[in-house]
Copies of this chain bind each other. A is one copy, B any other.
Amino acid sequence: MHLAQESFQVICEDPHCAARCGILRTAHGEVQTPAFMPVGTRGSIKGVLPELVCRTGTQIILSNTYHLLLRPGPEIVAELGGLHRFMGWDGPILTDSGGFQVFSLAQLAKIDETGATFRSHIDGQRVVLTPEGSISVQEMLGSDVAMVFDHVVGLPNERTVIKEAMERSLRWAERCKVAHSRKEQLLFAIVQGGLEPDLRIRCAEALINLGFDGYAVGGLSVGEPPQEMYRILDVTVPVLPRTRPRYLMGVGRPVDLIEAIYRGIDMFDCVIPTRNGRNAMAFTDDGPMRMRNARYERDPRPIDPTCPCPACSFSRGYIRHLFMVKEMLGPILLTLHNLTYYQRLIQRARSAICEGRFCEFRQEMLSKLAAGNDANDT
């Protein structure tokens, strides 16, 4: 664990809340935190060349063990030079372990102490994924940050189900740590425990005892109200070590990022900016814009005149046209816009934290975003 001592450094903390800025050091370079990771599920941020991903301000991306295990298979990725070379991304990559995808995508998943046996959602082939197998795949992919393989359950759920899954996730985390051998690859644990504060705390403490390079909060944003998620962060984050990065998995909307940063979260991944972009939704400080709306038909203005992304060199009218005629360039442009929006939001959060004014920034953004959402509902 020689890298672990220096793999994360807090560089400033807002004195008025738990928000902090840091640097995550990986084998493929540094990441400023708070950081947002675009999702490149199958070895590609959908529709975007790596050089354009970079221009959105993205410093680290996420890819998925589950998807790459099924296609093209980790042996092929390794043979083609590892995931960085494969997908043409020289910066840091975090790989998810597959736990969440087994829960959300796999068919007929059978989970026992050994691991998960399931049918591929693509062709129905039988696949086995164990903690050791997930680590092995992530090592073959060569990501900079690997995640432990966890047992994810839906919410709401019975306490006994959540408790058993959490305890199994703990045992699996230990097996992942034992199995993990690539020194230059960081290994993050995942805190489970549903909406049960005491289970979250017990899980976090047990993982900290095992010792990992970073700690994720998992199993959230799976249907529960946002306030429930914030409540769980309120009890979980304070237990996590100050000196390690904290990663809220699969979250979220701009407001969720701000609320989580406020509570001390350092890293995020989410498909919302890319998926919603492909569906014609453009994020702005004044709430999301639905670009198929007829109100934009003759609108010569860019989505956001302050935005430096390629989409904002075009008129709203043009972007609406692209979606109305189903041109690929529409989804591409809004993907770029939304990723740029997310990265600029995160950059503004970092500046606010270092200047000790994150609380004001949070209030201002929450008001704006809420007003925008109201306006778009009318």
Contacts and interface: CB of A to CB of B under 8 A. Distances in A.
A149 to B, nearest CB: 22
A241 interface: no
- Chain A interface size band reads 35 or more
Interface in A334-352: none
A314 B88 contact: yes
Interface in A46-84: 46-49, 51-52, 67, 71-72, 76, 79-81
Nearest to A45: B329
A297 B76 contact: yes
Contacts of A331: 328
A74 to B, nearest CB: 12
A300 interface: yes
B88 A327 contact: no
Contacts of A333: 49
Nearest to A52: B49
Tallying the copies of this chain within the complex gives 2
Contacts of A321: 42-43, 71-72, 76, 86
Contacts of A322: 43-44
A313 interface: yes
B80 A325 contact: no
A305 to B, nearest CB: 15
Interface in A310-328: 310, 313-315, 317-318, 320-322, 324-325, 327-328
A332 interface: yes
A320 B43 CA distance: 12
A332 B328 contact: yes
Given A47-B329, A310-B51, A315 B81 contact: yes
B318 A86 contact: yes
Contact of A80 (B42, B79, B81, B317): B317
Interface of A: 42-44, 46-49, 51-52, 67, 71-72, 76, 79-81, 85-88, 297-298, 300, 310, 313-315, 317-318, 320-322, 324-325, 327-329, 331-333
16 contacts: A42-B325, A44-B327, A44-B329, A46-B329, A47-B329, A49-B310, A49-B333, A71-B321, A71-B325, A72-B317, A76-B298, A76-B321, A81-B300, A86-B321, A87-B318, A328-B331
